[in-house]
């Protein structure tokens, strides 16, 4: 089993070097695969990535223990992917971010899924901003993803995402868009 883990880490490290050489600006680190000790693996990967790569890391996990393991070892201010407006997500992720710091990606969705309208997504973003304030996380450390959906599934989805992003930006928020 350890040989498989070592092989996986070696693969991750080789990909990091390849992506850095190709001009990447940041590395997304996600080690969540079935039947893995995600906190241990995240700790090992973050530690080893920082020893061979100069790029900043985006810690990508919904596992609060894995997030904490990564943040305890991270040198600098990471991007953390992600939290959403559901109470469960907020209660799991925000205390860890409040303790260790970082820039948090907030997804415009809640326990009911992704709202169809910009108004619904703005409401989700505001829930994230309000929760961050309660946890002492600065608004400047929140980056909202308006969530781009495929146009083939909903022709108005691109306009909804763009409208959401524009409205968040115009109110002083920061935005990101994963595509």
pLDDT of residue 32: 84
Instruction: Give the separation between CA 48 and CA 44, rounded to whole angstroms.
Output: 6
How does pLDDT run across 105-145, given as a tens digit for each residue? 999 999 999 999 999 999 999 999 999 999 999 999 999 99
Helices (H), the chain: 2-21, 38-52, 64-73, 87-100, 118-134, 157-170
Instruction: Give the separation between CA 108 and CA 151, rounded to whole angstroms.
Output: 17
Instruction: Give the separation between CA 86 and CA 96, rounded to whole angstroms.
Output: 16
The model's confidence at residue 1, banded by pLDDT at 50, 70 and 90, is low
Q: State yes or no: pLDDT of 5 exceeds 80.
A: no
pTM confidence score: 0.91
Q: Give me the mean pLDDT over the 9-30 stretch.
A: 95
């Amino acid at each position: 089993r350890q040989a498989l883990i070592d092989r996986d880490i070696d693969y991750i490290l080789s990909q990091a070097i390849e992506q850095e050489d190709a001009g990447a600006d940041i590395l997304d680190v996600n080690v969540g695969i079935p039947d893995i000790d995600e906190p241990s693996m995240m700790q090992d990967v973050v530690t080893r990535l920082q020893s061979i790569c100069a790029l900043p890391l985006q810690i990508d996990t919904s596992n609060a223990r894995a997030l904490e393991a990564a943040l305890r070892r991270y040198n600098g201010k990471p991007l953390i992917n992600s939290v959403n407006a559901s109470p469960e997500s907020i209660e799991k992720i925000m205390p860890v971010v409040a303790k260790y710091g970082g820039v948090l990606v907030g997804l415009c969705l809640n326990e009911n899924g992704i709202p169809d309208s910009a108004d619904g997504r703005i409401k989700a973003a505001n829930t994230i901003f309000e929760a961050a304030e309660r946890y002492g996380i600065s608004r400047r450390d929140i980056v909202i993803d308006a969530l781009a959906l495929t146009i083939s599934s909903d022709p108005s989805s691109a306009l909804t995402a763009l409208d959401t992003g524009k409205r968040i930006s115009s109110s002083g928020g920061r935005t990101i868009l994963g595509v």
